[in-house]
């Protein structure tokens, strides 16, 4: 058996939520941070556009709140919106203090961008690599902290609850005691015992065939929490980013909303600008509206993509404002973004639902917290306003840290963590067939549970996913654990959660659009809880 590692804080995930939480609590105990790959490979590092926060006199927190509530289509939790956005200016100071360098103009003032759904310029950015800059600064700070230890190439398998532990647990119920973690390089399972376990595992968009997310985004935290009986909310609300680079056969690449905020226009194959006929805000409408507009235009014209047109803007300014995107397009499709049309299609991008939490990140299980995209705080409602995600992660990880600082964890007596059962067979022939399920899941979800849905499509997807889900669980129970198998198991659970949630919402609201229920209904002004 691998030696048990004991933590005061077990943080699963090394993006903006996990690292900012770790930095806040490090002076109060030993923090262990779990990272699936290299610690810098996170959803955070892929964020391009920026982080939303009021910082000018002609703007106000009230306006930011109003923009967020409008985008959220009636499902935002107002207390979460008010808390998160009121915290934003102070949390920006945290980032700057940790060494994040946001882009400034010639006068040394922070350059603020405007994105879809925002009434004001309030997006701080670091050129078009904001997430990478935040990741760099936080990781550097965390690695320099003697109380923070980062375990790279470690993958969480399952939470440890009272169902696993042995010992004096008469007073213990519905408690998390840590997690079983797979060291993928050595292929051994290490039990991590923790006073507090924090799920900061990011999103799950790899459940879809086309995604802007890195391969790590397999919904591990949400799937683990679901298996442990923790409340999950609003998984039907999946944000499809309107513009990922259309480059068939290659990994999706995000073409930031900031290009449309800068003045970019969407045109069809005939070069006609089409978004004004779908919404008066045109390219700067909320993402759900733009994504559906693009989807409708492609279907109507039987085209594989639409195009983003930046040719009417100053060429030098476009290239200096978006250097990474310009470089990628030049290298991957031989296009100059200032002179050529950029082919784009929607792709799965962000989950508005997740593990249900309070404003302090507390889940429905004691000593288990969730922050960042893995959490459902209620801030986003039925559709996330652009660039609110990084801010939400910062604000709520701060509040989760404050909860510990104000109230120390309860002692549950002697806890004995049992060994991980390493027994199981490795049937290579069966695994070859089982691993094909991942591509099948992604195709099913893209074809039947995408931007536009119907009851018939969802039920068809449900039948297929239930069969795959059971096949994967059966194989998991009799086989030696591996990283690929853990991720496949999690993706099948995520697909099941999305479909189950979508079937319960017989209306169209925000990111959830049903052809057979095209209108909103007050009956569904509530969270979908599993």
Which amino acids are annotated catalytic? Answer: 287
Check: CB of residue 227 under 8 Å from CB of residue 39. Answer: no
Rounded CA-CA distance 344/209 in Å is 15
Rounded CA-CA distance 482/85 in Å is 40
Q: Which residues pair with 175 in a beta bridge?
A: 366
Q: Look at phi and psi of residue 354 and say left if phi exceeds 0, alpha if psi is from -120 to 50, else beta.
A: left
Cβ neighbours of residue 201 closer than 8 Å, sequence gap 6 or more: 12, 13, 156, 219, 220, 221, 222, 372, 374
Task: Count CB atoms within 10 A of the CB of residue 13.
Answer: 32
Check: CB of residue 419 under 8 Å from CB of residue 1. Answer: yes
Cβ neighbours of residue 207 closer than 8 Å, sequence gap 6 or more: 218, 219, 348, 441, 442, 445, 491, 494, 495, 498
Rounded CA-CA distance 241/211 in Å is 9
For residue 131, give Cα distances in angstroms to 45, 48, 330, 387: 4, 6, 22, 11
Check: CB of residue 42 under 8 Å from CB of residue 13. Answer: yes
Q: What does the block give as tokens for 356?
A: 């249900």
Cβ neighbours of residue 334 closer than 8 Å, sequence gap 6 or more: none
Q: Please calculate the CA angle 205-191-417 and round it to the nearest 5 degrees.
A: 125
For 466, how many CA atoms within 13 A lie in the half-sphere containing its CB? 8
Closest CA to 180 of 218, 217, 228, 232: 228
DSSP 8-state symbol, 516: T
Task: Count CB atoms within 10 A of the CB of residue 144.
Answer: 8
């Amino acid at each position: 058996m691998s030696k048990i590692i004991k933590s005061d804080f077990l943080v699963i995930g090394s993006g903006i939520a996990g690292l900012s939480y770790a930095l806040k609590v490090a002076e109060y105990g030993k923090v262990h941070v779990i990272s699936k790959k290299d610690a810098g490979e996170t959803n955070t590092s892929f964020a391009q556009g920026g982080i939303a926060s009021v910082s000018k006199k002609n703007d106000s927190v009230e306006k930011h709140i109003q923009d967020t509530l409008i985008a959220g289509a009636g499902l935002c939790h107002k207390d979460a919106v008010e808390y998160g956005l009121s915290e934003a200016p102070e949390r920006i100071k945290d980032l700057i203090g940790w060494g994040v360098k946001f882009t400034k103009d010639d006068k040394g003032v922070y350059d603020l961008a405007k994105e879809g759904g925002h009434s004001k310029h309030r997006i701080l950015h670091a050129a078009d690599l904001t997430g990478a800059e935040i990741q760099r600064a936080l990781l550097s700070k965390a690695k320099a902290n003697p109380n923070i230890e980062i375990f790279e190439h470690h993958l969480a398998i399952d939470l440890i609850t009272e169902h696993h532990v042995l010992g004096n647990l008469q007073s213990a119920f519905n408690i998390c005691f840590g997690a079983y973690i797979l060291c993928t390089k050595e292929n051994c399972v290490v039990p991590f015992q923790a006073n507090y376990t924090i799920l900061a595992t990011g999103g799950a968009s790899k459940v879809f065939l086309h995604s802007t997310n890195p391969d790590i985004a397999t919904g591990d935290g949400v799937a683990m929490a679901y298996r442990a009986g923790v409340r999950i909310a609003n998984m039907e609300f999946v944000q499809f980013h309107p513009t990922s680079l259309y480059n068939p056969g290659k990994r999706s690449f995000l073409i930031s909303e900031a290009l449309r905020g800068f003045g970019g226009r969407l045109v069809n194959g005939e070069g006609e600008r089409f978004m004004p006929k779908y919404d008066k805000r045109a390219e700067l409408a909320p993402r759900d509206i733009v994504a559906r507009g693009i989807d409708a235009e492609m279907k109507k014209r039987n085209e594989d993509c639409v195009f983003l047109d930046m040719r009417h803007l100053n060429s030098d300014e476009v290239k200096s404002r978006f250097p990474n995107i310009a470089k990628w397009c030049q290298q991957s499709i031989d296009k100059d973004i200032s002179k050529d049309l950029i082919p784009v299609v929607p792709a799965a991008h962000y989950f508005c639902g997740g593990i249900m939490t309070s404003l302090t990140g507390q889940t429905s299980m004691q000593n288990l917290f969730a922050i960042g995209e893995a959490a459902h705080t209620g801030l986003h409602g039925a559709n996330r306003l652009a660039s609110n995600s990084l801010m939400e992660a910062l604000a709520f990880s701060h509040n989760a840290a404050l909860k510990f600082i104000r109230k120390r964890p309860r002692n549950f007596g002697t806890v004995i963590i049992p060994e991980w059962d390493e027994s199981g067979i490795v049937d290579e022939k069966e695994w070859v067939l089982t691993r094909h399920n991942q591509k099948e899941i992604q195709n099913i979800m893209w074809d039947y549970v995408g931007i536009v849905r119907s009851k018939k499509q969802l039920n068809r997807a449900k039948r297929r996913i239930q069969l795959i889900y059971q096949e994967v669980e059966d194989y998991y129970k009799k086989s030696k654990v591996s990283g690929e198998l853990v991720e496949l198991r999690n993706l099948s659970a995520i697909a099941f959660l999305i479909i189950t949630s979508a079937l319960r919402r017989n209306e169209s609201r925000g990111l959830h659009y049903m052809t057979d229920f095209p209108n909103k209904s007050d009956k569904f002004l509530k969270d979908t809880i599993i």
